[in-house]
Amino acid sequence: MSASPDRRTVLRGAALAGIACFGAAACAGGEQGTSARPSSDAPVELGPATEVPVGGAKLYAAQRLLVSQPTKGEFKCFSSVCTHMGAVLNKIEKGQAICPLHGSHFQVADGKVAQGPAAVPLESVPIKVKGGKLIAG
């Protein structure tokens, strides 16, 4: 019987280590420059500008980007990596992008924090429209 609590303790520790690794891996990916997120040296085409609703936003999961169109023809682009612990934002509701890990909300129009625990705005990424397509980076 005494082995059971020990086993539970070990499993709990392993689970927590997994969570810690998830956070570290998410952060490390950005630091190593191996993510699909564009830099100023590597612009990325995201597709038709018409896919981003006026007054709304779209998440580009593969590129880890968020593009919004606050007013017709005005596009904003941000990293969709949460500034709290590096999870990727996965939902947009009522003009806010939401982090699945601890629930931070960011305004899609300007990247600012609407609800913590994140305290730092999303990283801004240059964006332009060329031939009707969005080019980020």
Size of the site for ligand FES (CB under 6 A): 11
Query: Which of positions 66-125 make contact with ligand FES (CB under 6 A)?
Result: 82, 84-85, 87, 99, 101-104, 117-118
| Residues 24-53, mask of contacts with ligand FES (x by CB under 6 A) | ------------------------------
DSSP string for residues in 54-118: TT-EEEETTTTEEEEEEETTEEEEEE-B-TTT-PBP-EEETTEEE-TTT--EEETTT--EEESS-
CB of 101 to ligand FES, least distance (A): 4
Q: In angstroms, what is the minimal distance from the CB of 105 to ligand FES? A: 9
> How would you list the strands of the sheet with 127-130, edge to edge?
44-48, 133-136, 127-130
Q: Which residues bind ligand FES (CB under 6 A)?
A: 82, 84-85, 87, 99, 101-104, 117-118
